[in-house]
Amino acid sequence: MKQVSYGVRDFQANLGEALRAAERGDRVVITSRGRAVAILARPDGDEPGDSPEERRRKRLAAEGKLKLGKRGIIPPYTLPRVSGLARQLEADRR
């Protein structure tokens, strides 16, 4: 993700280009007299304080390549019960 900066007049003249840049995931900063007055970015849930890893996770989830889990404590793993031949193999291992 790169940052693109436009003055107010440049932004008005190049609105389509700025929107395409934002759609690609670039951050478009609009300035007035050298001072940033607005930021144009994709509305995919990125928060200003998100880390790059968090933004990447959200992007991958939006593309369907990753499923975000619920935050919280992971329950302890319990071994499945075994019977028959599997039990005999387990006993032989010991």
Confirm whether 16 is domain-assigned.
yes
Contact by Cβ (8 Å): 30, 39: yes
Distance of CA 33 to the CA centre of its chain: 33
For the stretch 19-37, pLDDT in tens is 988 888 788 999 999 899 9
The tokens for 11 are 């932004």
Confirm whether 13 is domain-assigned.
yes
What's the mean pLDDT when you consider all of the chain? 84
Contacting residues for 6 by C-beta, under 8 A, at least 6 apart:
14, 18, 28, 29, 30, 31
Confirm whether 17 is domain-assigned.
yes
Confirm whether 72 is domain-assigned.
no
Number of structural domains the chain divides into? 1
Return the percentage of the chain with pLDDT > 90, whole number: 29
By residue count, the chain amounts to 94
Give the per-residue pLDDT at 44: 62
Domain of residue 17, CATH code: 3.40.1620.10
Give the per-residue pLDDT at 56: 87
Domain, as residue range, for 22: 3-62
Confirm whether 81 is domain-assigned.
no
For the stretch 3-16, pLDDT in tens is 889 999 999 999 99
d(CA 9, CA 33): 11
Give the per-residue pLDDT at 84: 80
Indicate if the pLDDT at residue 69 is higher than 80. yes
